[in-house]
Amino acid sequence: MPNRLAHETSPYLLQHADNPVDWWPWSEAAFAEARKRNVPVLLSVGYSSCHWCHVMAHESFEDQETADFLNAHFVNIKVDREERPDVDAVYMEAVQAATGQGGWPMTVFLTPDAEPFYFGTYFPPAPRHGMPSFRQVLQGVQQAWAERRDEVAEVAGKIVRDLAGREISYGDSRAPGDEELAQALLALTREYDPQRGGFGGAPKFPPSMVIEFLLRHHARTGAEGALQMARDTCERMARGGIYDQLGGGFARYSVDRDWIVPHFEKMLYDNALLCRVYAHLWRATGSELARRVALETADFMVRELRTAEGGFASALDADSDDGSGRHVEGAYYVWTPEQLTEVLGADDAELAAQYFRVTEEGTFEEGASVLQLPQQEGVFDADRIESVKQRLLASRAGRPAPGRDDKVVAAWNGLAIAALAETGAYFDRPDLVEAALGAADLLVRLHLDDHARLSRTSKDGHAGANAGVLEDYADVAEGFLALASVTGEGVWLDFAGFLLDHVLARFADDSGSLYDTASDAERLIRRPQDPTDNATPSGWSAAAGALLSYAAHTASERHRTAAEKALGVVKALGPRVPRFIGWGLAVAEALLDGPREVAVVGPAPADAGTRALHRTALLGTAPGAVVAVGTPDGDEFPLLADRPLSGGEPTAYVCRNFTCDAPTTDPERLRTALTR
C-alpha cells in the first residue's frame, strides 16, 4: 500500500511511495508525530538521478524487516534536495562539520525539534569496508535515544549552537580589484592540471564558473595564461567520456583525472552552464570545436530535457536497464567491440573502435568502453565518421532509456534560458531563442504569482508548494536579462527588476550579506547562507551578477551598490579559494570593466543595419556587457533614451555608467570598441 509520498509531485519522492517504510514528507506534522510518539526522526535526503540513493533504497528501504524497525522506532522523513535546497544545505553543513565529508543519500538523525545528533551518507545493508550496516546504525541510535537521552540532547544542542555561530560576515562594500583578481588567477594556476585540463584530482567536475572567470579575465587584461587554461580544459572535456560523443551533452563529473569515465547522470544545470561556456569560448577564439559542442549541448537540452509545457526537466538518470532486467550505471551510453560490429559491420566497427577508443579491455566495466574523441580528427574520413555516428545513435535510441526527472526547477531553467538565448543569437539559430522564450513564458505563467514571488518547482503544468530560494530569483533574473539583450523585448528587463526587488527586500541584510532563504521563509535550525559555488553559481554570486547587469541597464545606484557590497565576499575568498567562487570572480571582472552598456538604435529591429550592429554587440567580449536594441523613441530600455540615429543610419553607443563614447554606424568600429 502506498505511503504518504504518493501524494507528492517530486519524482524522487514518488520513487519511494511504494516502500514499506512509512515515509513522511518534510512537514510540521511529521515532527509533531515524533513529539507525540517521543521518538527520533530519520531524515533521508537525495534526488531522483542519484545512483547511490537508488542503491540504498533497494537494499534497505525496500526491505520489509528494515522498514518494520524504522516504522517502530522512528518517524521517517524523505526530502528531495532539489525541491528543498534549504533543508539540504542546513543539514549537509552539519554532516560535513561532523564527518569531514558529505554526499547523497544524506542520512541524519534528528530530535523531534529538528536538531541533528548523528550523521552519515550511504550505509550498506551489511558491514563493509569499515562501515557499519544500516541496521547496526539504526539499532545504535535507537538504543542511545532510549538509554542516554540526556547525552543525545547535549550533542544536538551543541551542534545547533555551533551552526548558529557560522554567520557570514563578509558584507563589505569593497569589491575585489585588480590585485585580488590577479591573486585568484595565480592560485588557479597552482591548482591547474596542465596535462589533462581542469583543476585538482579525481573526481573532476566541469569548472564552468571558473572558466567564465578565465574568459572574462583574458578579455579585460589580455592574460594569455587565463585563456589557455580555459581553452585546454574545454577541449579535454569535449574529447573525453564526460561528453556524450553521439548525442551531445555532458555527464555530471568524471570519476578519473582524465575525463574518461563519467558519473553518467546528466543534469540540466551542468549542460546549461557548459553550453554557455563553450559559446563564450567560441566568441573569444572562433574555435570550431567550441561551436560544435555549444550547439550539440543546446540541441541535447531541447531534444531530451524540454517538457510538454515548454520548460526544461531537471535530469536524466545515470542508470538504465542493460537489456537483461538489471539497472546498471552507464548501460545506455557504453559500447563493446561486439556491439559495434553488430550495428556497423566489421569494417566500420573497426573504424569506430579506433575513432572512439573502444577496446577489448574496455575503459569502463565488464569490457565496455565510454566513447572518446581522438586528438587528430582530420586523419579520419569525415563523411564516413558522420555515418557511423548516426547509425550508432539510432541504435542507441532502441536501448532502454535512462529515467527522466521531469520537475522544472526555476533556477536551472533560468540558466538554460540564458544559454539558449545567447547560443541561438550567436549561431543564427532562432529555434533555440524560441526555446528560451518558451521556458521564460512558463516561469512567468506558472512559477510567478501576482506579487512576483517565485515557486521553486513545477511539474506537469502545476506549480509546487515550495518557495523559491535566492538562486531561483537570481538565476531567473539572469536568464531574463540575457533574453532582453537578445530579443530586444524590454518586458524581460521588467520581470528581472521585479525579481531583484525581492532579492533586496527579502534576502539581503543591511550589511550587504545575502541569505539563501527569504526573511519570511520557513524557519529552520539555521538560516542557510553560502557564498561559494557548488554545482551551480551560489545564489549570492548569481544575485550580485544580476544586480550589476540590471544596474547597467537602468542606472540604478541602489542595485549597483547592492552588487558591490555582495562582491565583498569575493574580495575575501577569491584569492584563497578561487575554484569555489568562480562566478563571483566573473562578476567582479564585469564590475572592473564597467560593465559596458551598449545601445543599438535603428529605424526598426528587423532592419539589416540594426541587426548587424546588434549581432556585433552580442558578440563583444567585454566582460558582462549589457545590450539594448530598439528604435530611438522606444521606451522599453532606459539605455535607448536620448540616443538618436546618426545621419539617419542605425547607430550604436558604447557607454560606461551612462557616459558614452562617440556613436558609430560601423560594425567594425563597434567590435573594436568592445574588445579594447
Highest mean pLDDT among 82-96, 314-328, 339-353: 339-353
Q: What tens digit of pLDDT does each residue of 474-512 get?
A: 999 999 999 999 999 999 999 999 999 999 999 999 888
Q: What CA–CA distance (Å, rounded) separates 110 from 45?
A: 13
Instruction: Identify whether residues 359 and 471 lie together within a single domain.
Output: no
614 pLDDT more than 90: yes
174 part of a folded domain: no
Q: What tens digit of pLDDT does each residue of 465-476 get?
A: 999 999 999 999
DSSP state of 192: B
pLDDT band for position 166 (50/70/90)? low
Instruction: Identify whether residues 538 and 623 lie together within a single domain.
Output: no
178 part of a folded domain: no
pTM score: 0.94
Boundary-marking domain end, from 568, 593, 618: 593
pLDDT in the model for residue 155:
86
170 part of a folded domain: no
376 pLDDT more than 80: no
Mean pLDDT of 534-559: 97
CB 498 within 8 A of CB 447: no
- Establish how many alpha carbons lie within 13 A of residue 192's alpha carbon, considering only the half-sphere containing its beta carbon: 23
pLDDT in the model for residue 168:
59
- CATH code of the domain in which 26 resides: 3.40.30.10
pLDDT band for position 173 (50/70/90)? low
Instruction: Identify whether residues 557 and 443 lie together within a single domain.
Output: yes
pLDDT in the model for residue 39:
96
Boundary-marking domain end, from 398, 416, 434: 398
pLDDT in the model for residue 234:
98
Mean pLDDT of 138-166: 86
Instruction: Identify whether residues 52 and 96 lie together within a single domain.
Output: yes
Count: domains in the chain: 4
In the numeric block, which cell numbers belong to residue 82? 532539489
Boundary-marking domain end, from 143, 164, 185: 164
Q: State which amino acid sits at residue 147.
A: E
479 part of a folded domain: yes
151 part of a folded domain: yes
CB neighbours of residue 392 within 10 Å: 23
In the numeric block, which cell numbers belong to residue 529? 547562507
Mean pLDDT of 99-127: 89
Instruction: Identify whether residues 585 and 500 lie together within a single domain.
Output: yes
605 pLDDT more than 70: no
pLDDT band for position 170 (50/70/90)? low
172 pLDDT more than 70: no
pLDDT in the model for residue 100:
74
Highest mean pLDDT among 53-62, 120-129, 156-165, 439-448: 439-448
Q: What CA–CA distance (Å, rounded) separates 5 from 335?
A: 37
Q: Report which of residues 299 and 53 the model is more confident about.
A: 299
515 pLDDT more than 70: yes
pLDDT band for position 169 (50/70/90)? low
CB 498 within 8 A of CB 452: yes
Q: Report which of residues 243 and 323 the model is more confident about.
A: 243
CB 305 within 8 A of CB 408: no
Three-state DSSP class for 178?
A: helix
Kindly report the average pLDDT of the chain as a whole number. Answer: 93
Instruction: Identify whether residues 276 and 349 lie together within a single domain.
Output: no
pLDDT in the model for residue 111:
94
Task: Give percent of the chain with pLDDT exceeding 90.
Answer: 82
323 part of a folded domain: no
Mean pLDDT of 650-654: 96
Instruction: Identify whether residues 231 and 271 lie together within a single domain.
Output: yes
3-state secondary structure 357-421: CCCCCCCCCCCCECCCCCCCHHHCCHHHHHHHHHHHHHHHCCCCCCCEECCEEHHHHHHHHHHHH
Mean pLDDT of 27-50: 94
327 part of a folded domain: no
pLDDT band for position 59 (50/70/90)? very high
553 pLDDT more than 80: yes
Checking DSSP bridges between strand 462-463 and strand 457-459, what pairing results, if any?
Answer: antiparallel
Instruction: Identify whether residues 660 and 613 lie together within a single domain.
Output: yes
pLDDT in the model for residue 167:
62
pLDDT band for position 174 (50/70/90)? confident
Mean pLDDT of 282-311: 98
- CATH code of the domain in which 547 resides: 1.50.10.10
pLDDT in the model for residue 83:
95
Residue with cell 558614452: 660
Q: What CA–CA distance (Å, rounded) separates 302 from 313?
A: 10
Query: Domain limits at 72?
Result: 4-164
Instruction: Mark residue 158 as left, alpha or beta (left: phi above 0; alpha: psi -120 to 50; beta: remaining).
Output: alpha
Mean pLDDT of 529-557: 96
Instruction: Identify whether residues 543 and 559 lie together within a single domain.
Output: yes
Sequential DSSP letters for 617-650: HHT--STT-EEEEE-TT--S-GGGTT---BTTB-
Residues 549, 659, 622, 428: is their CA dihedral positive or negative?
Answer: positive
Q: What CA–CA distance (Å, rounded) separates 532 from 582?
A: 8
Q: What CA–CA distance (Å, rounded) separates 482 from 156?
A: 45
307 part of a folded domain: yes
Instruction: Identify whether residues 11 and 100 lie together within a single domain.
Output: yes
Checking DSSP bridges between strand 315-316 and strand 404-405, what pairing results, if any?
Answer: antiparallel
pLDDT in the model for residue 157:
86
Instruction: Identify whether residues 589 and 653 lie together within a single domain.
Output: no
Q: What CA–CA distance (Å, rounded) separates 274 from 206?
A: 8
Q: What tens digit of pLDDT does each residue of 393-433 get?
A: 999 999 999 999 999 999 999 999 999 999 999 999 999 99
Three-state DSSP class for 658?
A: coil
Instruction: Identify whether residues 440 and 582 lie together within a single domain.
Output: yes
Highest mean pLDDT among 170-174, 207-211, 326-330: 207-211
218 pLDDT more than 70: yes
326 pLDDT more than 90: no
Three-state DSSP class for 257?
A: coil
Distances (CA, A) of 644 to 282, 620, 653: 33, 22, 10
Mean pLDDT of 88-94: 90
Task: Give percent of the chain with pLDDT exceeding 70.
Answer: 98
**Which H or E run includes 262?**
strand 262-263
